[in-house]
């Protein structure tokens, strides 16, 4: 884009049901990891902004928790509110679906999008994993009949296939206006928040089957002392048995989680990190509105 072109700036909500690759898509667009990922649904719990500034435009991506139909616990209701709020406050929506699947949860997301009246790009993700590529075209034709999408784009977030085309489509819907954020800023979230999310990601990846959603992380200390960044994280679980699983035999599991988290933190914060982890039982935290607010689940950004 010519340097004398008017600046464009606006918000894009990345929405979809759980586990369709929304956070992976955001991380690859930014070229930096700010949203945690795992193979488990509902890994993302908060709205996270990812900001990309280049060539006279600034795209502000809103990564959202997966919208799901069943919201029995308070934390599930919180995640649905966070995702629904994003749909109301953006210029364009990127609706992410998984290959040739179409589920009742996808239909639920589409219904919410249609109520917004916003232009919507349908992003068919993970096409690199299709066993038979010939299945794609008839499925895209089927999807085109479900709504008046501004565009339908098959992509592979992981392989970077067609991601540039998605960005070009997004630019068409961004208003001409000055940037909302400094050009070198890539997220609205604090370093403390990102540190907590990294720890939670490592737990989800190692213990997703045993402790799928029973954990949350709170940063107790985040202080730079010379060349070393000291971080202390408190991991909450709901039952004593979960604490035992998380710590592992002679502390082995917790040490492995800490080692993996520290490596990511050193890369993200460009500093040597001294990381200390503790585990504490907080019974019923995920279904207690007051406990959720005290742990940072309060519909407000950090």
Residue with the two structure tokens 């639920």: 108
Query: What are the distances in angstroms from CA 134 to CA 155, 182, 192?
Result: 15, 44, 46
- Pinpoint the residues of the chain covered by CATH 3.30.300.20: 191-294
Residues counted in the chain: 302
Residues 117-171: pLDDT tens digits?
Answer: 999 999 999 999 888 888 899 999 999 999 999 999 999 988 888 999 999 999 9
Q: Which distant-in-sequence residues (6+ apart) come within 8 Å of 155 by Cβ?
A: 25, 123, 124, 125, 127, 161, 162, 163, 165, 166
Query: What are the distances in angstroms from CA 9 to CA 79, 233, 255?
Result: 26, 36, 43
Closest CA to 44 of 213, 238, 185: 213
Confidence (pTM): 0.77
Residue with the two structure tokens 């592979």: 156
- Pinpoint the residues of the chain covered by CATH 3.40.50.300: 8-171
Architecture of domain 8-171: 3-Layer(aba) Sandwich (3.40)
Q: Are 46 and 34 in contact (CB under 8 A)?
A: no
Helices (H), ranges, 91-249: 104-116, 136-144, 163-171, 191-207, 240-247
Q: 191-294 sits in which CATH class? A: alpha beta
Give the pLDDT means over successive 10-residue stretches in the chain (302 positions): 77 89 88 69 64 94 70 63 74 94 91 91 93 88 94 90 93 95 90 91 81 80 95 92 93 96 93 96 74 60 42
């Amino acid at each position: 884009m010519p340097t004398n072109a008017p600046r464009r700036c606006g918000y894009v909500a990345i929405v979809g049901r759980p586990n369709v690759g929304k956070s992976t898509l955001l991380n690859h667009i930014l070229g930096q990891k700010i949203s945690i990922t795992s193979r488990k649904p509902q890994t993302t719990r908060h709205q996270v902004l990812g900001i990309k500034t280049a060539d006279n435009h600034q795209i502000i991506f809103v990564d959202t928790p997966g919208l799901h139909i069943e919201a029995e616990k308070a934390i599930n209701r919180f995640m649905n509110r966070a995702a629904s709020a994003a749909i109301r406050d953006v210029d364009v929506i990127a609706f992410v679906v998984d290959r040739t699947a179409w589920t009742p949860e996808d239909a639920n997301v589409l219904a919410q999008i249609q109520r917004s009246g916003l232009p919507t790009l349908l992003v068919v993700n993970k096409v690199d994993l299709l066993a038979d590529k010939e299945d794609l075209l008839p499925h895209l034709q089927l999807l085109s009949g479900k709504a008046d999408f501004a565009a339908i784009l098959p992509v592979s977030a992981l392989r970077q296939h067609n991601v540039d085309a998605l960005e070009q489509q997004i630019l068409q819907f961004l208003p001409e206006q000055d940037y909302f954020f400094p050009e070198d800023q890539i997220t609205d979230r604090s370093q403390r928040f990102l540190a907590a999310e990294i720890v939670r990601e490592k737990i989800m990846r190692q213990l997703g089957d045993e402790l799928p959603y029973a954990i949350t992380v709170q940063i107790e200390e985040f202080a730079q002392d010379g060349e070393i960044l000291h971080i202390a994280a408190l991991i909450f679980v709901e039952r004593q048995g979960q604490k035992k699983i998380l710590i592992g035999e002679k502390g082995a599991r917790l040490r492995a989680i800490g080692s993996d988290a520290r490596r990511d933190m050193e890369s993200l914060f460009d500093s040597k990190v001294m990381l200390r982890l503790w585990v504490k039982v907080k019974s019923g935290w995920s279904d207690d509105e007051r406990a959720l607010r005290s742990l940072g689940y309060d519909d407000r950004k950090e």
